[in-house]
Structure 1
């Protein structure tokens, strides 16, 4: 992955910051695309790993699972945007940077809280009178929410790296 000339040069300490940025953006892209592709797959009628999103989510979409198609497209687009912005030297400044920070914050909070709460339920620390959807909790504890967290953390680290290199 090639990054923009202003964002791909080595730092003053000689670290290959361009390679690190490319790796971070690669992780960010992969996490977001995996999330998005599963939404597209489920929206098109696929069922592999579908129970891992939880009964409540399945019931919310019901017969309208096709609505996951635009959700998946948005996820893939949002995952690709920082890579394209970095490639054109726009990740380090302006409204794009603020939008990316907002996205990273939402992903980290959503993923972190979701994974933590699912782990607490699975561990018996948090109990509900009506029980819980075990497959859904496992999916949120070990797959979907950690993937959101990884996506957000890698985007945030990319933004920090770009800012430090620009300064």
Structure 2
């Protein structure tokens, strides 16, 4: 029986680039959440709402959610590398395919819907309620939700390369 590494072709330069870009996107996103988990407050006004208040107030439940979020984002970042690094061969191909395409769908779907909704409010396609927090809305449109969308696209590109490799 052939070893898993013997059955998978080496990734191309483009596949390596997209996987590494997805890794860095996820890692930087995790670092932002870690910063807030450790007490940082910079840019929280761009998140807005109850989330920002809970972080400032050091709400224990929110601190737990943020810590879990850091771990999930780190896992997602490392997952992208599993698609192109030899150590990724320890995982069955079907598992990487299912997790990778599911992750891509979640990131692109979540980011895309939220970016679309925020853009519709920003340009006036959907009338904004008078109490809208424009700083938070624009933070989500241009940074936070867009970050999910970009990460998902980069992971999707890495997945296309992984799917094509045998």
Q: Please give the TM-score of this superposition, normalised by the length of structure 2.
A: 0.82
- Give yes or no for contact 2:114–2:145 (8 Å, CA) kept in 1: yes
Q: Please give the TM-score of this superposition, normalised by the length of structure 1.
A: 0.82
Match of 2:111 in 1: 111
Partners of 2:112 and 2:144 in 1: how far apart? 11
Give the drift of 1:92: 8.2
User: Which fold has the larger relative contact order, with Cα–Cα distance below 8 Å and residues 6 or more apart in sequence?
Assistant: 2
Match of 1:8 in 2: 10
Partners of 1:163 and 1:26 in 2: how far apart? 16
DSSP-derived class of the 1:127 partner: coil
Match of 1:13 in 2: none
Give the drift of 1:52: 1.1
Over aligned residue pairs, what C-alpha RMSD do you find?
Answer: 2.2
| 1:1-167 alignment runs, 5 A limit | 6-8=8-10, 18-59=12-53, 62-64=57-59, 65-67=62-64, 68-88=66-86, 90=89, 93-166=93-166
How many positions carry a matched residue from both structures? 155
In structure 2, list runs of 5 or more residues that go unmatched. Answer: none
Q: Deviations over 1:124-146 (max 9, x none)?
A: 22224343111111111101111
Partners of 1:151 and 1:128 in 2: how far apart? 28
Partners of 1:7 and 1:118 in 2: how far apart? 41
- Give yes or no for contact 2:22–2:155 (8 Å, CA) kept in 1: yes
- Give yes or no for contact 1:92–1:162 (8 Å, CA) kept in 2: no
DSSP-derived class of the 1:131 partner: coil
In structure 1, list runs of 5 or more residues that go unmatched. Answer: 10-17
DSSP-derived class of the 1:46 partner: coil
- Give yes or no for contact 1:33–1:79 (8 Å, CA) kept in 2: yes
DSSP-derived class of the 1:99 partner: helix
